[in-house]
């Protein structure tokens, strides 16, 4: 193996996948993190600044109109006042915080998880299978999961420093192994 390649290998359920990454891959992983961070940050800021974001109409109308298999769930959510109030705050501010987290590489895996979760909801809410089951929402969900899997916050991000922060002389992620699930 050359110094320009990194070997990866993973086994799940008795199946093993392996491959080699070129060191240039780090720049593409960083680009994915920044792209999704900027997109979510901008979307969230637009919603926050407009002050008119209201999920009720979307939840009650869009999924049934597009034939979403979860239409009844979305309609029920859209008819539940406290839930709509929660979503009206959680979506815009969630997008802002997810975006900021990805842009600066802070709590990157946590941010990417919530980004993937939102994209899954958007996938079912914006249901459109006219060109197959894979659409932009589904692809973005996979990008978020890739950002998390590759530990993209360690690439020119704050997570690289936070993971090495010493607590009683031991790096944070060694002292608290669970932190690896939210950092990186």
pLDDT digits (tens, 9 = 90+) for 121-161: 999 999 988 888 999 999 999 999 999 999 999 999 999 99
Ranges of each domain in the chain: 5-181
According to the model, what pLDDT value does residue 22 have?
83
Assess contact for 117 and 123: CB atoms under 8 A: no
What's the confidence (pLDDT) of residue 174? 93
Measured CA to CA in angstroms, residue 103 lies from 37, 108, 147, 153 at distances of 5, 9, 12, 9
Return the structure tokens found at 164.
Answer: 């090495």
Q: CA torsion angle for 8, 14, 15, 21 (degrees, to 10)?
A: 0
- In the prediction, which pLDDT does 4 show? 65
**pLDDT given at position 1:** 47
Q: To which H or E segment does residue 1 belong? A: none
Q: Which stretches of the chain drop beneath a pLDDT of 70?
A: 1-4
What distance in Å separates the CA atoms of residue 82 and residue 77, rounded to the nearest whole number? Answer: 9
């Amino acid at each position: 193996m050359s110094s320009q390649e990194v070997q990866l290998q993973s086994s799940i359920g008795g199946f093993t996948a392996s491959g080699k990454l070129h060191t240039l891959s780090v720049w593409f992983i960083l680009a994915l993190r920044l792209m999704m961070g900027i997109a979510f940050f901008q979307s969230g800021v637009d919603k926050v600044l407009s002050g008119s974001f209201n999920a009720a109409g979307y939840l009650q109308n869009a999924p049934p109109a597009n034939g979403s298999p979860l239409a009844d769930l979305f309609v029920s959510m859209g008819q539940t006042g406290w839930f709509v109030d929660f979503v009206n705050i959680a979506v815009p501010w969630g997008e802002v915080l997810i975006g900021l987290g990805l842009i600066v590489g802070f709590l990157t895996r946590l941010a990417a998880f919530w980004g993937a979760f939102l994209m899954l909801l958007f996938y079912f809410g914006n249901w459109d299978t006219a060109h197959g089951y894979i659409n932009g929402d589904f692809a973005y969900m996979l990008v978020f999961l890739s950002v998390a899997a590759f530990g993209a916050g360690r690439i020119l991000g704050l997570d690289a420093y936070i993971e090495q922060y010493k607590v009683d002389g031991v790096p944070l992620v060694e002292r608290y192994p669970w932190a690896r699930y939210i950092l990186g």
